[in-house]
Each structure stands twice: as structure tokens, then as C-alpha cells.
Structure 1
Amino acid sequence: MKVALFVHCFFPEHFYGTETYTLGLAKHLQSFGHEVTVVAGVFQGEPRREAIVTHSSYDGVPVITIDKNYEPHTRVRETYVHEAMRPHLTAVLRELSPDVVHVTHLINHTAVLLEVAKDLGLPLVATLTDFFGFCYNNKLEASDGSLCAGPDRWRSNCIACHLRAAASGGEPRARRLAGIPHGWRLGGLALRAAEAFGWPRIAGADAIVPDIVERPEVLARTYECYDAMIAPTQFLRDAYVRNGFSEPRLSLSRFGIDIDRTPKPARAPHAPLTFGFIGQIAAHKGTSLIVRAARAMPPGSVRLIIYGPEDQDKEYMGSLLEAAGPETEFRGTFKPERMADVLAEMDVLAIPSTWYENSPLVLLNALATHTPVLVSDVQGLTEFIEEGRDGWSFRRGDLADLTRVMGKLAADPAAVRAASANTSYERTTRSMASEVEAIYDRLVNSRPKR
């Protein structure tokens, strides 16, 4: 069958978890005999392509790219429903004439894609890789940094997240709220009330508030176009159900990993315990927490190796360099095929994220290479480990608790290294792709022949 895989961005410029999942799925579907094309986006502000729609290939997979620089969004609503994308998406789908459309992220394409596919009578599948379907910032992190359950009745918490983002971008009215206790939340309530009572001088005349307020309902309605939705964790599946999405259409299918599963090499008896961090160097990834915790360890007891792009947030990176001690090394990025070698050097992989991670592939790669993990106590991470056997957890965002757990591990490196024998993850991308293929077969075979 012909499969169109839609993703927000793709290799070689973008290479994180969703892109890696999409590439792995595409390669295996090809090996099963299917004709697969990836349709990716270019974010507005990135280097402009020679045309709005271009054709290329990556690692043997045909790629169609739609450049948002030609159709930039100009208001909040267009970040989730962008009517200007409709003719381009229609043209791409008519060109491909797929048997199945599978969306691994809607950003850049927006929910218009779902309407176009449904109008063309195409079966629609989603892999839910984050909380885009109901969360304004995709991360389920509230404006005060606490974890969020989803939009409240008035959507004032979503407006508060917008105010926080606007302040970080330099918007002066939003920045004034930063010094007020609970300022983001109060600002969100005030703007929502102003919009509800028709006070445009307070709410603003640029439709930001109604665009934010309407977002959950609009996406919930358009997500009804999906014939099947795949969640890689129980936590993410439950979060969508709690926020009103159709439970019968949601299935649990964990990500697969293809990596060298050779046992770890032996360590010198008195070698310091080596912790590692792999990923975006950003505040929501908790990079500063692991750097500061490592600095607090007894001299010579630990090493910390950090891999990630150092130019993503130069101000944040500068603060890390200032906080880091001699035990910490920043090594930049590496090619994906080196993942097993990089993890082989680590005794423990740290994932100190401050938001709800959702089965990050780096976690699964670590477990598959017999690398125990140290993670924040959020369910999208902890549901993959058995505490004390193949991993350890600490209170999310709590530097003191992370330092305590890290110190306990550093005091007994032999026990930590012995945990490697208990650490594994056997699921492969081939078995994952086989489950996805079965979903395609069910949907295609249940429809009248076109």
C-alpha cells in the first residue's frame, strides 16, 4: 500500500525523537513492501527553500517538504488551523494518492491536514508524540513551572502560558507580570474575563485570547477525523482520554529501538561513576539540574558527559558553562549511528526533565544498551523502570533530591554498574512497525474500494 507519513520537520536539519520515529517507521514499512513518502515542514524563520513544495530523499525515503516561510502564520489560531495550507496539502495528497495518511506531528501542517484527508476519503492514523492536541505549549507545564492536567474551564491557564512565553520574548506588558506573585495566572484570568465580558481595551483587539480559548475545542473536533490514534505510553494515552478524546480510537503501542545491545565493557575498579546527558540543552530538559548536582559531588567521585547542541539557547548554555565544575564535559552533538558507543561510556544516563516526558527514545536506547537511568519522577519516564533495579528517580525539579540520589549512587559505583545486568529493552522498531502495519490493514480493508 501507499503510505504518507506527515511530520512537522525531518532529517537532516532536525533529528530528535519524533523525526527518528518517523524515519524508522518509514524504513521498516518500505522493507515490508509498502511505498512510503514522508511529508515534512520547514518552520517559518528557517532557511527558505527554492519553492513552497520541494521533493528530495533521505536515507532512501522520498521526502516532500512544505516550506512555511511561503505561508507564515500571523496569529495564534493559524498555529493550529492554518487555512492557507489547505491548497498545498490538497495538492500533495492528490499527487501521492496514498492508501493511508499517518501523522506523527501536526505542527506546521496544522489540523487543516486532517480535514483535507477526510474530505479525500483517506484513512487517518496518528502517533501522539506529545500533548499538542490539547495543550497550548505541548508540554503540560503550567506557567509557574508546575505540572498541568490540561486546559481549565475558562482556559485561563492556557492564556497564562501565552503571557509567560510573550514575556520571555520581550513583550513589555507581559514582562510586568513577572514580578507579581502568581502574575501569569492572574493575568490569564484577567484577560479571559475581559474577553468574556467584551472589554477589548483590556483583552486586546488582536484575537489572541479567543484564539487560545477556542484551541482545545477546535482540535478535539478535528481529531475526530482520526480513525486510529497510537500512544507510546500509558500516561499519554490516559492524558488524552482525561481531556475528552475518544478512548476507543486510542491504542497503546510502545516505541521500538534498533541498537547494538552488547553488554557494557568492564570498568576499572576505582573509576569514577560516569553519568551522561543526551538531548536538547534547554531549561525544560533540566540540564542545569544535573550540572549543579554533579558539581556538588565529592571531587573525583563522578564524571558528567553532556551531549547536545550548544547553540540552541546561548544564554542558557552560558549559565551551564559557568555552573559546571571540572567533572563535567560538554561534547556537542553526534551522529545517530554512534548512539551505542556513546552510551557504552556511561554508567548512568540522566533524564532530569522538568516536564512530562513521553517515552523519549534516548531513555529506550539507554535501557536497550543496558544503561541504568536516573529520571525525574514523571510517569512518562517512571513507567519504564523498576526503582532500584534498572533505574532511580528523584522529585521533578528538586535539585536537593537529585543531589541526594546522585550522591547515593556515587557512593556505591560497583552496585550501580551491577544494575546494568538487570537493564534491558527488547522491543525493536520492526515489531513496532508490524503493529502499525496491522492498524493500516484493518482500516484499509474495512473501507469500500476506491
Structure 2
Amino acid sequence: MGEDAGRAQRRDLGGVKQVSSTVLVIAHGHPEFSPGGGEVAAYQLFCALQNRKGVKRAVFMARHSSSDWTGQISILRNDEFLWSTGISDWFKAQSARPHAVTGTFRKFLKTIRPDIVLLHHYAHMGVEILREIRNTCPSSKIVLTLHEYMGICHNIGQMVKRGSAELCFGESLQACVGCFPDRSEEDFWLRKHFIRRHFDAVDRFIAPSEFLRQRYIAWGLPAERIAVIENGQPDGARHAPRTLAPGGLRNRFAFFGQVTPFKGVDVLLSALANLPRKQRKDIHVEIHGANLESQDEAFRNRIEALRRPLMEEGVLHWPGAYHRDDLGRRMARIDWVVVPSVWWENSPVVIQEAFRFGRPLLCSNIGGMAEHVRDGIDGLHVGVGNTSDWGETLVSAAADVEGWDRFYHNMKTPLPVERAAERYLAWALDEASPGLGALPRLAADF
């Protein structure tokens, strides 16, 4: 493809510039096999691009989750592909099969010939894919969405101190060595610059929260290259409030997501267990979560010890994993969505899903959670990791029926995924997004 042919074709339609291009969306998992928030956000964006006027072709590539995958590319269905190289070195996020990057992946790029690449992660594929895209498709626009802090933090990208689970407020060589004493300051300096050099292949970055954007600016990414664009949501009518009997309480709380040590389910269960029995009996908590079986034994044992007596008492219910198509029905049965995460979170998709279906939130008072849920307006902030605060908030929120009604009516409609797609393309093509001004914050709805 020549330089001119490789650039997106543009034409004016009603004052909004449309594109005629092939757009490749890459994610670290397919939501059919790995239903995490980032994977869902990437796939919904791909679906919106498929239906967007002016996009010639949208293609989705996701990490294949099989542990014995050989690095070949498989067709899941039309324009949806699965591929993985695995990671040989998580310290630098390096591919386990570099020959698959320069071989199979390169051939795929030459076949697809993308004008725009919207990359949602490099995990499980290797940071080298950034450089390969740039070398193979020199005229393509590459946009990387940063869903957490993996480039900054070696502790699974959580910016939480290893061992103590203490929140980390900023990257430093000394702090990183404190978490990983088997590594030297020189190791971490080399890690940072190795990842940064691969990030140099990226034209622009997207952060779904201003909080995450500021963390990466402090790390060294140029502020003018990072825009805030919220994860979009499909259209859909908001659920009506759950019908209450006379004198009824808004006492049905639910967690949706992965059951991992960082998601705070143990904090929520401890808060419930610590309440006096006479207060606890009026609370109904549901855990709609997956992947507990994949966690370490100590965490699994802790969760089991907490949940068993609560389930026997009837105040805790554990429906478990769910399909995305069933999410609306499950949310219709509850009053509040709880997000008790003990790490900074960027922009949990469940927050936007709760807004979409009309369910106020209780969330930890840090990071992207505190940014997206407005305390006292469409939800409540709760002290991160504070079981006493969580317990008291469960009780007070259940009894505040008028407050719930106020939050319900104050909630904003989340950014439609079609509009998010428009903003992704505008940012990739270096165009001003209509009516949003010059600042690199494109999600003006929040």
C-alpha cells in the first residue's frame, strides 16, 4: 500500500468528517472466553465500527486463551480472529514467540492492510507488536488504549505494593525495588525505557479516565498525546426501579466482575459479617463473579470461610458467573451495584453498565471509581478497604429510599458506544471532535 493509499480517505457529511478505512481492533482477550471489562469495551467498539458509515472494514483480533496455542491465527467468525504468542518475560512484557510476531502476525497485517489500529492491550501478545505494526504498516495510525498501569507497574499493573496491598501513589525506582527486592534499580530503569521505546511506535494514546491519564503523564508520556475517551455502552432503556412493598428497603446489593484479591469481594463479605445480626438480616448481597477457582489457595480459603456462614444465614447469595446477555436481567433484580476494589481502577465497565441499566453505585473512594461515580449525586463513595465504612454504608443506603430515588434520577446516560467510536477515529486521524474543544479530554459527558 502506498503512502497516499494507506491514509484514511475523508469526506464531509453534515459537518462531521467520516472515514473510509480499514480499522483493526486488537484486544488481550475475546469476551466470549475472557469477559473482562477491557475485553468487553474493545469488542463493543469493534461492533460499533462495523456499523459505522464510512468505515470500509472493521477487524477484531483477540488473544487466544488456550495454553497450548502455537502462535497460529484462527478465524473465529467473519472478521474476528484469535491469536497469541504468550509472554516469556512479564517484567518487560516480551513475547514468548517473537518469530510469531515477525512471521504470522506480519503476514496478517500485510493481508488486512489496516489504515487505523486501535490496540487495547499488548498483554499475552508482547509489547513488540507495537513496533511490528509500525514497521509493517508505516502509514497506519496506531492508537493504544491504556486500561491499567502495566507499563508503569510490574505488580500486574495495579500500582499496589506487593505483599502489604498498600496503595502506591507514584512510580520510583526505590519503591519498585521495595516490591521486588530480587530486582535492581537498574533493572527497573531498563524496563521503563524498554517499554517506553516501544510506546514510541504509537501515534496517540487513550485513557478511559483522567486519573489514569495523569498517572501516565507523570510516568513520562506527553500530555498532548493522551486523550480521555470513556468506554462506550450499547443503547438500551434504563430499568425501572425495583418494585418495593410498603415500607420496603433498597437493600439488594450486587457485585459484578472478577473475584480476585484486587476487586475487594473479601472486604465486602467482611463488612457484612461484622455487622450485628439484627442489622445484617435486612441486607441482601449477591456476588455475580467468575474466576475464583483461578486464584491462589490462601485467597480461595479466605473467601470460602467468609461466604459459607453468610450463605447459610441467607444474607449472601452467590449466583456466580454470567453471560453478558443476562446482565440486564440480573441488574433488574437489585438496587445497588457495589465496586469495592482495593486498587486504583481505571474505569470499570461495570460502572457504565450500572448507569446504563439505572442502578446507583457504592464504590471505593479512589482512582477512576471516584472520578466516575459522583458522591452524593449518583452514588456513594466508601473508604477503600475499610470494612467498618462498608458495613455502615450498606445499612444506611438500604434504609435511604428517598436518597436512592434521587441518585436514580441524577444518573447520566453513559457515552453511547457509537459516539465513542466516532471519538476514537477523530483522535486517530488528528481531527477535532465536534463540539468538544481543543483539550485532550474527549469524553465531555463525564
The reply to whether TM is greater than 0.5 is: yes
Report the Cα offset of residue 379 of structure 1.
2.6
Residue 67 (structure 1) shift? 4.5
2:63 is aligned with 1:41: yes
2:440 corresponds to:
none
Quick one: distance in 2 between partners of 1:321 and 1:75?
Answer: 30
Residue equivalent to 2:184 = 192
1:320 counterpart residue number: 303
2:73 pairs, out of 31, 43, 54, with 54
CA gap of 1:330–1:145, structure 2 versus 1, over 3 A, is same
The structural deviation recorded for 1:157 is 2.6
CA drift at 1:213: 3.9
Deviations 1:197-237 (A, max 9, x none): xxxxxxxxxxxxx3x44211111222122111111111111
Aligned pairs for 1:423-438 (under 5 A) are: 423-438=411-426
Q: Which moved more, 1:129-138 or 1:74-83?
A: 74-83
Counterpart residue number, 2:332: 344
Q: Say whether the 8 Å CA contact 1:237–1:250 is kept in structure 2.
A: yes
Q: Which residue matches 1:283?
A: 261
Paired residues of 1:347 and 1:417 also in contact (CA < 8 A) = no
Are the aligned partners of 2:363 and 2:373 in contact in 1 as well (CA < 8 Å)? no
Corresponding residue to 2:281 among 278, 300, 303: 300
Deviates more, 1:417-426 or 1:392-401: 417-426
Gaps of 5+ in 2: 1-20, 432-446
- Is residue 2:381 matched to residue 1:396? no
Indicate how the Cα distance of structure 1 residues 123 and 318 shifts in structure 2: closer, same or farther if over 3 A, else same: same
Distance 1:407 1:438, change over 3 A: same
Residues 67 and 82 from structure 1, CA distance in 2 versus in 1: closer, same or farther, beyond 3 angstroms? closer
Say which SS state the counterpart of residue 80 (structure 2) adopts. Answer: strand
Tell me the distance in 2 between the aligned counterparts of 1:150 and 1:34: 42
* TM-superposed deviation, 1:265: 3.0
1:34 counterpart letter in structure 2: K
Rounded Cα–Cα distance in structure 2 between residues aligned with 1:337 and 1:61: 22
Matches within 5 A, 1:174-323: 187=181, 192=184, 210=187, 212-258=188-234, 259-272=236-249, 273-295=251-273, 296=275, 298-309=279-290, 310-313=292-295, 315=297, 316-323=299-306
Shift of 1:78: 5.1
TM-fit CA distance, 1:363: 0.8
Aligned-pair distance for 1:369?
Answer: 1.7
2 CA distance for matches of 1:244 and 1:82? 29
Secondary structure in structure 1 of the residue aligned to 2:84: strand
How many pairs are equivalent?
392
- 1:150-193 C-alpha deviation (Å, 9 max, x unpaired): 431xx24334434xxxxxxxxxxxxxxxxxxxxxxxx46xx527
Separation (CA, whole Å) in 2 of partners of 1:229 and 1:238: 12
- Distance in 1 separating the partners of 2:56 and 2:242: 39
- Among the aligned pairs, what percent are the same residue? 20
Structure 2 residue 427 is the aligned partner of structure 1 residue 412 = no
Q: CA deviation at 1:407?
A: 2.5
Q: In terms of mean alpha carbon deviation, does 303-312 or 315-324 score higher?
A: 315-324
Q: Which residue is equivalent to 1:376?
A: 364
Answer yes or no: is the 8 Å Cα contact 1:29–1:437 preserved in 2. Answer: no
Indicate the larger mover: 83-92 or 121-130. 83-92
Q: 2:158 aligns with which of 139, 142, 149?
A: 139
Aligned Cα RMSD in Å?
2.3
Question: Please, which of 134, 146, 162 is the counterpart of residue 118 of structure 1?
Answer: 134
TM-score for both structures, normalised by structure 1: 0.81
CA distance 1:311–1:410, shift in 2 (3 Å): same
Deviations 1:115-142 (Å, cap 9, x if unpaired)? 1122220321111111122221211112
The aligned residue for residue 146 of structure 2 is: 128
Letter in 1 for 2:240: P
**Secondary structure of 1:141 counterpart:** coil
1:328-359 C-alpha deviation (Å, 9 max, x unpaired): 01111111012121111121111000001111
Conserved in 1, the CA contact under 8 Å of 2:89 and 2:95? Answer: no
Shift of 1:245: 0.4
Tell me if structure 2 keeps the 8 A contact 1:26–1:61.
no
Instruction: Identify unmatched segments of 5+ residues in structure 1.
Output: 163-186, 197-209, 444-450
TM-score scaled to structure 2, two decimals? 0.81
2:154 partner amino acid? Y
- 2:352 alignment partner, SS class: helix
Match of 2:83 among 59, 65, 77: 65
- Is 2:111 the counterpart of 1:89? no
1:24 aligns to 2:44 (yes or no)? yes
Question: Conserved in 2, the CA contact under 8 Å of 1:82 and 1:111?
Answer: no
Specify the code of the residue in structure 2 equivalent to 1:9.
G
* Farther off after superposition, 127-136 or 276-285: 127-136
Tell me how far 1:269 sits from its aligned partner.
3.1
Q: CA deviation at 1:393?
A: 1.0
Q: Shift of residue 433 of structure 1? A: 0.8
**Aligned partners of 1:260 and 1:330: how far apart in 2?**
27
Contact 1:136-1:161 at 8 Å conserved across structures: no
Partners of 2:256 and 2:288 within 8 A in 1? yes
Counterpart of 2:107, as a letter, is A
Match of 1:157 in 2: 175
Mapped contact 2:346–2:369 kept (Cα < 8 A): yes
In structure 2, the residue corresponding to 1:434 is in which secondary structure?
helix
Displacement, 1:280? 0.8
Task: Report the residue type matching 2:202 in the other structure.
Answer: Y
2: CA distance, partners of 1:230 / 1:37: 19
Relative distance call for 1:214 and 1:308 in structure 2 (3 A) is same
Name the structure, 1 or 2, with higher relative contact order (CA <8 Å, separation 6+). Answer: 2
Asked if structure 1 preserves the Cα contact closer than 8 Å seen for 2:358 and 2:408, the reply is yes
Q: Deviations over 1:53-94 (max 9, x none)?
A: 132235x542142343xxx51674454797444313322212
Distance 1:53 1:82 in 2: 11
